[in-house]
Amino acid sequence: MKEKPIPSTIKFSPELQKKIAEAAKITGLPKQELIRLCTAIGIEDLRRINYDIAGAIVDKAKAMKLAPVNHQSCDEPLKNGTGGKR
């Protein structure tokens, strides 16, 4: 026997509501179906990274080969005037 869907209420910020509406318009999908699809994709992405979001961010940063930090600049005042020393 097929399981029945469980109704659920989710609150979205106004910004996210706008993005959902825009994506639904572009894809031609109903908003509910788009939200279901995006949720399924997001959960699959989490599974692929073994639910380790922080680790995935660090791995991506390492893969981007970011420019090295000039540690001398930490002793210089920041442009906003807050100072650079820690």
Number of domains in the chain: 1
Query: pLDDT digits over 53-81, tens only?
Result: 999 999 988 888 766 666 665 666 666 55
Structural tokens at position 55: 């680790």
Residue at 5 is within a domain: no
Residue bearing tokens 């939200």: 35
Structural tokens at position 29: 């999908």
Q: Does position 44 have pLDDT exceeding 50, yes or no?
A: yes
Q: What is the pLDDT of residue 86?
A: 44
Length of the chain (residues): 86
pTM of the model: 0.63
Residue at 60 is within a domain: yes
**Contact by Cβ (8 Å): 20, 35:** yes
Residue at 24 is within a domain: yes
- Residue 65 domain boundaries: 14-75
Q: What is the mean pLDDT of residues 7-19?
A: 95
Q: Does position 5 have pLDDT exceeding 70, yes or no?
A: yes
Cα distance between residue 54 and residue 63, in whole Å: 14
**Contact by Cβ (8 Å): 20, 12:** yes
Residue at 80 is within a domain: no
